[in-house]
Amino acid sequence: MEVSKNGLVVIDFYATWCGPCKEVEPVFAKFPKSYPSVTFAKIDVDEFPEAADRFTINGMPTFLFIKGGKPVVTVMGANMTTLENKIKQHILKEAAKSCVSNKCRK
């Protein structure tokens, strides 16, 4: 898997046998429509153990945020409110950076 060098990528590391992973799947599946500026992906840790090893994934579900090809945030567990809040925080942070660099005004 090649990690995008531009924009935020949120990866759901899951396993087919993981109950909490199954519970969060419908919510995670809606995020691309709600947050089109973010790229969402899923990795089955049993199918791609090298990806889980590369990012030191020790439990599922684990959501890894990658920016500029590097991990920036990890959210462990099935708390989708926490995950969504982290996504929103990142989007707001990026919007603020963009606004500052473009000299936005209220």
Selection from 54, 70, 55 nearest residue 5 by Cα: 70
Q: Catalytic residue at 99?
A: no
**pTM: predicted TM-score of the whole model, two decimal places:** 0.86
Number of structural domains the chain divides into: 1
Q: Which of 21, 24, 57, 78 is catalytic?
A: 21
Q: Is 33 among the domain residues? A: yes
Answer whether residue 1 is part of any domain.
no
Q: What's the pLDDT band for 102 if we cut at 50, 70, 90?
A: low
34 falls within a domain: yes
Kindly report, residue by residue over 12-57, the tens digit of the pLDDT: 999 999 999 999 999 999 999 999 999 999 999 999 999 999 999 9
- pLDDT band for position 103 (cuts 50, 70, 90): low
Mind listing the pLDDT tens digit for each residue in 47-87? 999 999 999 999 999 999 999 899 999 999 999 999 999 99
Could you tell me if residue 3 is inside a domain?
no
Q: Determine contact, residues 74/65, Cβ cutoff 8 Å.
A: yes
Asked if residue 106 has pLDDT above 90, the reply is no
Active-site residue identified among 8, 18, 60, 83: 18
Q: What is the pLDDT of residue 94?
A: 81
pLDDT of residue 5: 56
Q: Is 78 helix (H, G, I), strand (E, B) or coil?
A: coil
CATH number at residue 76: 3.40.30.10
Distance, in Å, from the CA atom of 11 to the CA atom of 31, rounded to the nearest integer, reads 12
Is 86 contained in some domain?
yes
> Looking at residue 95, what is its pLDDT?
77
List the one residue out of 80, 73, 76, 84 whose CA is nearest residue 58.
76
Name the residue range of residue 77's domain: 8-101
